[in-house]
Chain A
Amino acid sequence: MFRIAHAEFIAPGIKRFEIEAPRIARKHQAGQFVILRLHDRGERIPLTIENSNPAGGTISIVVQSVGKTTHLLNALNTGDNILDVVGPLGKPSEIALFGNVVVVGGGVGVAMAYPTAAALKHAGNRVVSIIGARNRELVILEREMRQVSDELMITTDDGSYAEKGLVTDKLRQLLDNHTCIDLVLAVGPIPMMRAVAEITRKDRIRTIVSLNPIMIDGTGMCGGCRVLVDGRSQFACVDGPEFDGHLVDFAVLTQRNSTYREAENRSMEEFRQELEPSLAGIPDDAGCAQGGRR
């Protein structure tokens, strides 16, 4: 059992949890994730670690309500327990002095990009961050990202906050202005990461993306998270989750992430009917912002 030391909504449908997990807190490095399971009939879901406090023995995760499991998770509060949390899994982000780094975060991807952005800044890089969301309410971690960025740009799809547009528009502007960029890190929905990789491809700017395929054990045992990178199978759990965005086959990733769409919808629908009163008001499209991350 892993106790939730603190839980709070940071945006509609997006909750941050601080979880007591001393072993994981001690070993966590930016870019790594945990797998958790809520109850004894629950599924295992991977979630990127947003922050860790080795002294206090806690890790933080940021969760958007998308499917049944994330809705159940986001119904938990301070003092509640999570049945299983395992990690830190995956390879840490490569942290080095690259020079000028652009961090692109979309939706809750911002929370996943944050620890790497902080580590890159700490390593002496000039960090320009571009974060985006559908609307004003869904912009998260603005203050934290500002702290670790030399420059922060914000976009909203509907223009309700900062600049109207997409994070990729901003990235393209930077390139059009001949800004010198040595590394781009993109974390967010698959279409966003794919678009970022396309933009940087012609200038051959090294572009790292953090992938979120279907995953079960997270230790390399099952092979469910295999992604096609440079024409070869790689396991996101042990070879990733970060890969060279120019080599990732995003079409295969999108297609494989759709494998259980029907089952996921059915699960969610039955769950919704079970808990109708308390769930009234959860928008049907809550899932669209974060792709396969359930």
Chain B
Amino acid sequence: MTPAAKPSANPLRLRERIKLPRQPMPEQPAEERARNFTEVNLGYSAELARQEALRCLECEKPTCMDKCPVGVKVREFVRLIVAGDFLGAAAKIREDNVLPAITGRVCPQEDHCEGSCKLCKKGESLGIGYLERFVADYEQRMGTISLPTAPPTGKRVAVVGSGPSGLTVAGDLVQKGHKVRVFEALHELGGVLVYGIPEFRLPKDIVREQIDQLRTMGVEFETNVVVGKTVTIDELMEEEHYDAVFIGTGAGLPLFMNIPGEHLNGVYSANEFLTRINLMKAYQFPKYDQPVIDLRGKDAAVIGGGNTALDAIRSALRLGARRAYVIYRRSEAEMPARAEEVRHARQEGIEFRMLTGPIEFLSDGKGWLGGLRCMCMQLGEPDASGRRRPVPIPGSEFELPLSVAVIAIGTSANPVIQSTTTGLATDTRGYIQADTLTQRTSRKGVFAGGDIVTGTATVILAMAAGRRSAKSIHQYLTTGLW
């Protein structure tokens, strides 16, 4: 046993634990939720959480923790759940993760903690994400969080972007006694958590509460500031006297396919479609002013196979689409989306057209989208990403009638900050170069992390970069060494 480990409160023997089935997540019935925007998963009750926690084998070498990008002490927090100390469990998570109510919902646990859980070999992994979500929600309901105790250092840090990486940096640094101000380009805080991920997967109240917690901890926020335009990094450092700057501006410009018909009305980028729906609440038009194309009775498709693609098409379904397709050029095995999202989407009636590549958006003759011409694909040799390359099958063209198509094939780097900051090195694709351990950029006092460094990734990987940055910013601020 490691010194940190407390004696187990779990009365069950390992053999008994293995026999327990994974507690299913209570969810809204598929046919009901397919027509509303409220959250799909309803969350564990205290009883379900305790039942599930009892399954933990309390491994001596917890691989779940090693596999967690931010190093959440899974075994310890699950033990606290077994002991009935839910607030203690939340505080334990918070030592490594300032946004547990968010990661408990959107983290691809199967790629990290749950994927390495020993229980997988015997059946299903421990529901670590579900448990994390339970204690985080419990803590928010109780309204008690631990406040930072470190004395003020007098150092000031500017955080650019209020997405997962920026919020993590802010939360970690404010706890060390530094003064932190977060600048956000949009009118709402949260970055991709509010404009990208839909309400039915991550309620915006949850995001707001997590941000309010950071505010309570002393983090300051300023919305409507596009760093690089409204103020530059140089000005933040030289004129506003910030001692360090963290750049976490996230995913950039949406990629288009450069196939004919992309300018037809009804062809959206996923970012635009989701921003209208999530940030601007177009699903409540005309109560909210920003509209989205009326999808009732129309057919819609998304092109792509990631979480963003599924978020978009499931939103289209909820807006009343008659048929809703996922068009992906590889097979389901290569889809990068979270397993739970694929399962949920299928339950809701989303149709998966795998091994299908779009070649032309077809007009209805009046400037609007009428259909999509596609080709069937087969998988060839692996490409640079290690996934098998899709190869078109000659003569396999077909047309799919459609009114709305959403392109969710990724993003490229947004150049606004890079082009307005002196001495900030970028790679050939325009992403900011940062050390993989310290997240230091080529510019003294400037750190970067998340999608603006790596390209499109996940919430948890951005948070991990945020953690590393916070650690290294703290070191820089306290030692002055670069």
Q: Which residues of A contact B (CB under 8 A)?
A: 23-24, 27, 37, 41-44, 68-69, 83-89, 216-224, 226, 228, 233, 235, 238, 249, 252, 255-256, 258-260, 262-264, 266-267, 270
Contacts and interface: CB of A to CB of B under 8 A. Distances in A.
Contacts of A85: 224
15 contacts: A41-B281, A42-B289, A43-B280, A86-B226, A87-B226, A87-B229, A217-B186, A219-B416, A220-B252, A222-B269, A224-B269, A233-B263, A256-B265, A263-B291, A267-B289
8 tightest A-B contacts by CB?
A263-B291, A223-B269, A43-B289, A255-B367, A222-B272, A43-B290, A86-B224, A84-B187
Contacts of B263: 226, 228, 233, 249, 252, 255-256
Contacts of A216: 272, 275-276, 279-280, 290
Determine chain A's interface SS by DSSP, over half rule: mixed
Interface centre among B263, B268, B289 (most CB of A within 10 A): B289
B380 to A, nearest CB: 29
Contacts of A222: 254, 269, 271-272, 275
Interface string B282-295: 00011111110110
Contacts of A249: 263
Contacts of B276: 216
Contact of B294 (A43, A256, A258, A263): A263
Interface in B253-280: 253-254, 256, 258, 262-263, 265-266, 268-269, 271-272, 275-276, 279-280
Contacts of A41: 281, 287-289
Interface in B33-92: none
Nearest to A267: B286
B293 A259 contact: yes
A235 B254 CA distance: 10
Contacts of B275: 216-217, 221-222
A88 B289 contact: no
A85 B103 CA distance: 31
A44 B290 contact: yes
B231 interface: yes
A255 B198 CA distance: 29
Contacts of A259: 265-266, 293
Contacts of A86: 185-187, 224-226, 230
Nearest to B191: A221
B367 A258 contact: yes
A83 B262 CA distance: 34
B289 A221 contact: no
B422 interface: no
A221 B290 contact: no
Contacts of A27: 229-231
Interface in B275-329: 275-276, 279-281, 285-291, 293-294
A260 B288 CA distance: 14
B194 to A, nearest CB: 12
Contacts of A252: 263
Given A259-B265, A267-B289, A220 B414 contact: yes
A249 to B, nearest CB: 8
Contact of A37 (B187, B254, B287, B294): B187
Contacts of A224: 268-269, 272
A258 B289 contact: no
B290 A88 contact: no
Contacts of A238: 253, 414-416
Contacts of A267: 285-286, 289, 291
A223 B275 CA distance: 11
A217 B185 contact: yes
Given A85-B224, A221-B252, 20 more contacts: A41-B289, A43-B280, A43-B289, A44-B290, A83-B187, A86-B224, A86-B230, A88-B229, A217-B186, A221-B251, A221-B271, A222-B254, A222-B272, A222-B275, A233-B263, A235-B253, A260-B291, A263-B285, A267-B291, A270-B286
Contacts of B224: 84-86
Contacts of B287: 41
B358 to A, nearest CB: 16
Nearest to B366: A255
Nearest to B223: A84
A223 B254 contact: yes
A69 B289 contact: yes
A247 B318 CA distance: 39
B254 A24 contact: no
Interface string B213-233: 000000000011110011100
A219 B280 contact: no
Contacts of B225: 23, 86
